[in-house]
Structure 1
């Protein structure tokens, strides 16, 4: 099923993207609107019916007045606040399933700008989920998936019949990161065009990391789950759905791949919806196998 939908979305993108690329307008905001509109079309077709989900643009907020910058597209549930005389909404972070920053071209400058935009959403989420405002006992917020991922990554259990297990500091940090990854919005940078090679894409990200070693806001939980640059992607191994074991105590939390980017996007969103609503195995079809190169 997931391959069928991914192929359908790829066909739409293949047919429609040249129309946008060849449009005669030079007005930058209008060009941005076109590519964001195409991303909305893809997202709406990717969402299962009957769940009350919507694709909107606007801002993320928490209970204490923190507000993100304007976000290109959000997949949301529940109710948001429509801003007067606009098509933009303000939506609480707890009800945002995914945030997508859309770029016509994604190269180094656009990568850094979109990363910063999504990092602001992460900061709001971190503050909310680490405060007393968050309610993590909702039926769709079971921590069991994170505990299972942690066990697969480390070979250790996070808790047993006696309660939370005593873990080394580094492993406890990994487990708390996985918990935050499970409840936070899926953050995606979607570049319709981009780097000419997978190596160049990886090198740009590595250079950005090297420039920010030791800087606040550059831990694994601040990184987007998926960054797409044309036909190449950088993907996070947070167990939702992709996972790799720790290597000598280190978490290789990112890998690159030339796999169909829209299939990867579906994997992230459908995994989240499956954990929240319970789809069942019939939705997924055959297991996705990836050819991936190295991890960060």
Structure 2
């Protein structure tokens, strides 16, 4: 079953079973909530890959340390078994390291339920912050490093150690936020009903971050990007965090484009957020994500940067306006394409494919054999913006890919990470005469 087919199946289950729940006419709020939690558990069970020891539990707790336990969470996707809570059937305490994702379920999202869901999920961050929780496994480090250099274009390390110096305070903020994103489980707010339009869900989120009539100085405490969910779903609208797990948008002019929104099948995003972590944890083949020659269309929503307010650093949010006619339409997919390179970029990428790294001050020496020359500063800036390379110690460029490959066509030079075979499939589709070489 492909990820698209699975997402369609979850939508069918959601739509059919929510009608069954509503038809029962039950008015007891806790019972209604439990029914929707049960429906969510059933849907998530469909996403669990066999043989990994992963399961879905309800109404359970995260144990951070002896005597330090989280609030109750509606749904958790966990690795292994939890510790049963005495006299409570199918409720568990689970260690933080076991938790892959936490989902808070709301039958109907409104401003009160929206705030309640976000504050509940924020408890994970606040409680973990009381402890010395750090990157402790290889897969966490890999998630962290990949996200940081994909978003900032810079290396996670400086002088063979985690960097302590940054080109801006915003990049420093991203550095610390992404560390926690790698350590903590994905946090998801899932609403079945409520806001029927993409604009409606965007508006309630803006209202939460900056209540009407209040200035930036009175912004909701704890509204840093880290304290906010990885995914918010209501009906057919999704608000997606670009934290590298799996969604990525490179920083632009020192702004982290932290959220986008989209209208369409939200179950696709739910699966991708969970599976992307499982790929790192279990070394799964990225081909489980299926056909990858199309890219889902999204609308830019929120970017953020670090500012100084009354002598203290704070995250400033910028909200992007999108024409109403573009919202709440199924976002048009676009064809995926590799990065198109100019001749100088092509030669340098070729060198990196063979040698791994290149000193910035040796770029023109590398190009000399081809009678080419560049301004090294602007060249590095443009090349890191492609996401293909990142900068180490401000002195060295290195590949940010797992299996970088270039292709020369009648239309120019192209390059991409071919780790999943995506570039090979693109070549076969667009340049079949070259397919046998890839």
Length-normalised TM-score, structure 2: 0.63
The match for 2:299 among 285, 290, 293 is 293
Q: Which residue of 2 aligns with 1:92?
A: 95
2:279–2:286 contact (8 Å) kept in structure 1: no
Once the two structures are overlaid, the 10-residue window that deviates more, 204-213 or 23-32, is 204-213
Q: Which residue of 2 aligns with 1:79?
A: 81
Question: How far off its partner does 1:215 sit?
Answer: 4.2
Deviations 1:63-111 (A, max 9, x none): 1522222111111113322111112111122211111111111121110
Distance 2:54 2:103 in 1: 15
Distance 1:162 1:278 in 2: 25
Deviations 1:34-56 (A, max 9, x none): 11110000011111011111111
Distance 1:81 1:218 in 2: 32
Is 2:249 the counterpart of 1:275? Answer: no
Is 2:54 the counterpart of 1:44? Answer: no
Structure 1 pair 293–204 and aligned structure 2 pair: CA distance change class (3 A) = same
Question: How far off its partner does 1:161 sit?
Answer: 6.0
Distance 1:221 1:271 in 2: 18
For residues 95-174 of structure 1, the aligned pairs below 5 Å read: 95-128=98-131, 131=132, 134=133, 136-141=135-140, 143-159=141-157, 162-165=160-163, 166-168=165-167, 169-174=169-174
Structure 2 spans left out of the alignment, 5+ residues: 303-438
1:158–1:167 contact (8 Å) kept in structure 2: no
Deviations 1:118-157 (A, max 9, x none): 11122123334xx1xx46333433x133222222222222
Q: Which residue of 2 aligns with 1:176?
A: 176
Distance 1:56 1:35 in 2: 14
Equivalent position SS for 1:62? strand
Distance 1:293 1:76 in 2: 32
Distance 1:9 1:15 in 2: 10
1:114–1:189 contact (8 Å) kept in structure 2: yes
Highest Rg: 1 or 2?
Answer: 2
Higher relative contact order (CA 8 A, sep 6+): 1
Q: Which residue of 2 aligns with 1:63?
A: 65
Once the two structures are overlaid, the 10-residue window that deviates more, 94-103 or 279-288, is 279-288
RMSD: 1.8
Equivalent position SS for 2:139? helix
Shift >6 Å, 4+ stretches:
none
Question: How far off its partner does 1:205 sit?
Answer: 0.7
Equivalent position SS for 2:222? coil
Length-normalised TM-score, structure 1: 0.92
Question: How far off its partner does 1:17 sit?
Answer: 1.5
Q: Which residue of 2 aligns with 1:230?
A: 235
Question: How far off its partner does 1:2 sit?
Answer: 1.1
